[in-house]
Amino acid sequence: MKELEFQEIVQQVEKALEELNIISPQLLREKMLEALAAEENDLAREMLSQVMENYVVAEERHLPLCQDTGMVMAKVEKGEEIRIKGGSLRQALDEAIRRAYKNNYFRKSIMSDPFFGKNTGDNTPGVYFFELEEGDELRIDLLVKGGGCDNISSLGILEPGSKPEEVERFVLRELDTKGGQACPPLIVGVGIGGNAPYALYLASRALSRPLGEANPDPRYRELEEKWREDINRLGIGPQGVGGKTTCLEVRIETYPCHIASFPVGLVCSCHVFRQKTLKW
């Protein structure tokens, strides 16, 4: 049995949360620069220029990229042969959020109860998905996104035997009406299969992967590319002002599904893509 210190996890997660809220990944900056070069709309270019300026100011002044520092999501893959010494994983994640959000003056946006609660004051708890795996490794994928893009999440209950084109139509219809509110250009997660709640989980899980990580299945890689191009033909553009860049990446995750159902989950991240993967 491998052992891992509680404090080691807290420290690493705290550091990751600090960094992802302040520093944008290099690949994201490159994608934004490409989008800026491709846009013909002066207003779209204006929006993208401000996004690029924002990377500089945030890093220089140690300010969060977005005022909505989100509800922290963590997807945890834990090997059955690894043990945390000194506390639970859930406690470690909560403690890391508490420290990172207090020490770095991030916004505390979590209400203790939807109806009867008040602000918890430290941005805890996060939302955690634990998956038990074989072996002695621990992997934590952290994803931070704001309320604006989470509010366009959607569940489609399609007919069994649906073709990729029908799933794409669902995605296009949803994004056409709501995409402009979610701070495009977006990263789009699509979960297909499982049951209804699992399809939404698959979509979130797809978003929690690092930027630019290609789908291992070439058939899905092809679909991701086609859907991205088609979403960009909607014309929504950066911040919805019109343009060629509405989506930077589409990620599809699938799971076996029941003969009588075909759930599709759609979950997006705004252009301030805040993600980190930690491994032990």
Footprint of other proteins (CB under 8 A): 41-44, 46-47, 50-51, 53-54, 57-58, 61, 63-69, 105-109, 119, 147-148, 151, 168-169, 172-173, 180-183, 230, 233-237, 239-244, 270-272
Our CB check for other proteins shows the closer of 8 and 168 to be 168
Our CB check for other proteins shows the closer of 139 and 226 to be 226
Tokens representing 111 are: 């209400």
In this structure, the strands spanning 138-145 and 127-133 are unpaired
As measured in angstroms, the least distance from the Cβ of 32 to other proteins is: 11
As measured in angstroms, the least distance from the Cβ of 12 to other proteins is: 23
Q: Find how far residue 148's CA is from the centre of its chain.
A: 12
Our CB check for other proteins shows the closer of 19 and 46 to be 46
Q: Are 243 and 138 in contact (CB under 8 A)?
A: no
As measured in angstroms, the least distance from the Cβ of 156 to other proteins is: 13
As measured in angstroms, the least distance from the Cβ of 265 to other proteins is: 19
What's the rounded Cα separation, in Å, for the pair 159 and 236?
28
As measured in angstroms, the least distance from the Cβ of 222 to other proteins is: 18
Our CB check for other proteins shows the closer of 34 and 81 to be 34
Residue given tokens 């890689």 in the structure block? 221
What's the rounded Cα separation, in Å, for the pair 265 and 257?
13
Our CB check for other proteins shows the closer of 133 and 230 to be 230
Our CB check for other proteins shows the closer of 106 and 201 to be 106
Q: In what order do the strands lie in the sheet with 154-158?
A: 154-158, 262-269, 186-194, 247-257
Q: Residue 265's closest CA among 169, 189, 210?
A: 189
What's the rounded Cα separation, in Å, for the pair 30 and 143?
20
CA distances from 161 to 40, 166, 263 (A): 40, 10, 11
What's the rounded Cα separation, in Å, for the pair 232 and 215?
20
As measured in angstroms, the least distance from the Cβ of 21 to other proteins is: 9
Residue 155: its H or E element: strand 154-158
